[in-house]
Structure 1
């Protein structure tokens, strides 16, 4: 992997990742003002959850025409976030970030009531998987998928090196039904200054399991799922030498798959070489199965769960892939029970979903 770091016209960082040395000297010719954000993090007094308020994002780019896509390479007078005429993988600071260090200068503390408020510091990055606007991650070859994995890993290491960052979250939203506002194949990386609510809850559950059994919860879950591989009621979708993909026992989404490395590790930076080499084949296979679920490719979220800082041994790196679509023409909406009290209701048995995905 070859990495080139440069700056956009407003001072934001842009990083090119190439399979080998590639000249990257095109300058951003846009007349942009210096980037600044004004986010704040408010703590819910009843749950302790951190909620980010980022009102400046209301003006962000929303479903532009394909010929005005800000993630396509720059060509002629059509200038985008990528100054070069082509690229392999590119990562840059979001122009409309939910979290940014510049937020520290814009927050005024609210002292009334039992409330806590802090600046919305952190970092939000955009990861462009390919310069091809019409492609998707599933269309990539294994070499390009590996380059994306290397970019995720590099960014995780650099962002975790910042003592103000507690959790690095790499993810992809695909499809208008998910809420994607740019059609170009891309993902995002958030560097949070706090441990996210679901991760904090998972930490508590894993710590309780360790105290009660002396064993790691993620090891026990993976062993239980792998033990059923080959049975008709198995939730395993695919079991490779270094990775296992399975539908979780208490799946919340119609089609939801968790992908675990068979050797537990904390985050992408500590993933071993064998698992890195095998990941592209296994992950592309899963994405292509999701594309075959319905007549049109399924909208999905793909989310890397990594151990937050300070380091804890209870959690394990894994990827969560799920779609909101439950049939070809029906979505799984977060309605009264899910949105109101966080109680998920799933219309498809996890064992049925796993069998469907295995058979595709």
Structure 2
């Protein structure tokens, strides 16, 4: 009798409908020995206040500005912003993509802010109560609404943990607003708009309900939100946070949505930390509909944690992935099961 295909044990490919990219899934490789790089697990202990931290209340930042003695959240203009408002326009002699196919250049205005989630140096999102997490979600909404009045795209994101690239351990996120659509957003917007044209429904709303029906990749769910390890996940414990009703951006999030999001997000983040017994590093960010609008794009968050097998083994994209195709070993279904087990 011929062997039957089993996605839990046989290599295969899965397509990401948001980007059109394919991911090679190789579950048989989870049995391979590891003699590659390891990293020390993140320090689980941190003081409530660190006099050397440039984000703690009352301390002097790296740019020389003194923080106020804030008691809740705190937002300030990034002292070393990647994008700046009112950048001069391109001069006549500058390279323009309209006239040069090889050396394209375009104008890039923007505004960058830092969002301190709490005055406490040790209070990460995963450790917050639902009410405390709700304050952060409301901060995201307020900042999005303010900046969205001026900029085409408002990118809310958080980089947690040194292994993910965070430059400071104090719980914080950032917002980079721009007069252009970043590459990932342009790709996702086109894909969701194309799906809308065919199905007349939001791609991610349809996807969320199918995941809830199956449950194999669901990490946490309530009546309004769901967190899943996406079917096409690349990072080992990658998750996608989705609303279960049409929400095009944070401007559509009401108080009920905020409360329900705090519930699902809190469950997922606590599961991250419990998985390997350390503060879980990740890169995360919120996507939705650009200011210029469009049919189909739905509010959602991506979480990309790099940890692979333990607190000291991280996934690092290697030659095949950089030069040929994205690839993962652990199946999304197994990853979701691991996270559900520690809820």
Q: Same fold (TM over 0.5)?
A: yes
Structure 1 residue 122: Cα displacement: 0.5
How many correspondences in the alignment? 289
Match status 1:93 vs 2:77: yes
> Are 1:253 and 1:324, in contact at CA under 8 Å, matched by a contact in 2?
yes
Matched with 2:156 is 170
Q: Does 2:332 correspond to 1:353?
A: no
For the 8 Å contact 1:167–1:306, the answer to whether it is kept is: no
For 1:82 and 1:312, the matched residues in 2 are separated by: 41
Moved over 4 A (4+): 78-82, 105-109
Correspondence for 2:313: 330
Give the C-alpha shift of residue 89 in structure 1. 0.1
Q: Which has the higher contact order (CA 8 A, sep 6+)?
A: 2
Unmatched runs of 5 consecutive residues or more in structure 1: 1-64
**What are the ranges of 5 or more consecutive residues in structure 2 without an aligned counterpart?**
1-48
Q: Which moved more, 1:284-293 or 1:130-139?
A: 130-139
Paired residues of 1:104 and 1:120 also in contact (CA < 8 A): no
CA distance in 2, matches of 1:293, 1:75: 34
Deviation at 1:272, TM superposition (A): 2.9
Q: Aligned partners of 1:263, 1:135: CA distance in 2, in Å?
A: 30
> 1:310 maps to which residue?
292
For 1:203, the equivalent position in structure 2 comes to 189
Question: Over residues 82-107 of structure 1, what are the superposed CA-to-partner deviations in whole Å (9 max), with x where a residue is unaligned?
Answer: 53223210111101001011533798
The one of 183, 205, 213 aligned to 2:169 = 183
Residues in 1 aligned to 2:290 and 2:203: alpha-carbon distance in whole angstroms: 17
Shift of 1:322: 2.5
Q: In structure 1, how many angstroms separate the alpha carbons of the residues matched to 2:91 and 2:123?
A: 40
What SS does structure 2 have at the residue aligned with 1:148? Answer: helix
Give the corresponding residue for 1:301.
283
- Within 5 Å, give how 1:213-292 maps onto structure 2: 213-229=199-215, 234-292=216-274
Distance between the aligned counterparts of 2:59 and 2:160, measured in 1?
25
2:68 is paired with a residue whose SS is: coil
Secondary structure at the counterpart of residue 345 of structure 1: strand
Give CA deviations for 1:292-327 in whole Å, capped at 9, x if unaligned: 111322211221112112111211001112210111
Give the aligned partner of residue 339 of structure 1: 322
Contact 1:72–1:82 (CA under 8 A) maintained in structure 2? no
Rounded to whole Å, the distance in 2 between the matches of 1:87 and 1:340 is 48
Deviation at 1:143, TM superposition (A): 2.0
> Cα deviations across residues 121-153 of structure 1 (Å, max 9, x unaligned)?
111110001111123221222222111111111
TM-score by length of 1: 0.74
Q: CA RMSD in A?
A: 2.5
Distance 2:261 2:50 in 1: 31
For the structure 1 residues 207 and 182, does the alpha-carbon distance in structure 2 shift closer, same or farther, using more than 3 Å as the test?
Answer: same
- 8 Å CA contact 2:108, 2:180 repeated in 1: no
